[in-house]
Amino acid sequence: MQRIATFNINGIRAAHKRGFGDWLAHRGADVVALQEVRCPIDALPEGAFGDFHVVYEPGELAGRNGVAILTRQPVSAVRTWGADVWLASAGETGTLVAGHDPGAIARGLGKFAREGRYIEVDLAGTPITVASLYLPKGGLPAHLQKPGRMREAPDGGAKYQRKMDFLAAFARQLDRSRRAAKAQGREFLLLGDLNIAHQEHDLTNWRTNKQTEGFLPEEREWFGAQLGPRRLIDVQRKLVGEVSGPMSWWSWMGQAFEKDVGWRIDYHLATPDLAKSAVQAVTDRAASREERISDHTAVVIDYNM
């Protein structure tokens, strides 16, 4: 049995102050994918990743992004999009390792390659390739931007277009990674914060969010195109069925958390045989606002491999 979790911790220093260390120590996970670690290597809290082996790609944007994969056993291979990666054995000082040639990645990903958005590893002893992704949040297209109805100043659709560019390029890379894993006799598992609610029951107020970034028709269409019986399976949805949620992100504002007004944007997307082996999915929703570690929560799935 492999217990695998994905968790956008929204800053590892803040998360540790809210109890992330205790969660990590007692959750019993074999593999943990993290997003938005948001911390330079030399500023990581003491014991930041517990007694796990760590692969961490911090990126080059100060205070933003950063993805990691924590494992109980050392991994057998690491791949980035050309960025340097920090490797650390459990309880030992880590080493910064130069990334591979970024020319090997799919067309269009070069401008995102060093932002701390993606990393993938081959697990040792288990034929699975695991990836951690933090997909750009994006924004609204220009024709939907209306001053006075936005928290941010209109940008003419720049953030929207940047997300669309990422989606187009990442689809090519995702297909390449999945096929490469298959060629090596490995299953493939994409974990992370995709910043897209795929279906109506993946967010609470879907009717009022039809023109909100993260639930735009073109984003949902892209998401659906990555899924299929011979491609990738939304594992949690397969296990829980066509029900509302379970949500994995709630705003810190107002009573969103208390009223469970949230979005399901944190996913396990697995190749079909791996998805078939999943036996249980749990969303680690905190019991109260005071006990929240992040604005996201962990999505934990047990795979009977």
Taking the C-alpha atoms of residue 243 and residue 265, their distance in angstroms, rounded to an integer, is 15
Count of other CB atoms within 10 angstroms of residue 281:
17
Nearest-Å Rg of the Cα atoms of the chain is: 18
Taking the C-alpha atoms of residue 275 and residue 39, their distance in angstroms, rounded to an integer, is 32
Give the mean pLDDT per block of 10 residues along the chain (305 residues): 98 98 98 98 94 96 95 95 92 80 82 96 96 97 84 89 98 97 98 98 96 97 97 98 96 96 98 98 97 98 95
- Per-residue pLDDT tens digits for 196-222: 999 999 999 999 999 999 999 999 999
Taking the C-alpha atoms of residue 121 and residue 49, their distance in angstroms, rounded to an integer, is 17
pLDDT (0 to 100) of residue 102: 57
Residue 12 belongs to domain spanning: 2-303
Taking the C-alpha atoms of residue 271 and residue 267, their distance in angstroms, rounded to an integer, is 13
**Cβ(190)–Cβ(167) below 8 Å:** no
Q: Tell me, what DSSP letter sits at residue 86?
A: E
Find the CATH number of the domain harbouring 112: 3.60.10.10
pLDDT (0 to 100) of residue 118: 97
**Cβ(163)–Cβ(172) below 8 Å:** no
Predicted TM-score (pTM) above 0.75: yes
pLDDT (0 to 100) of residue 32: 98
Q: Domains in the chain: how many in total?
A: 1
Closest CA to 158 of 171, 140, 137: 140
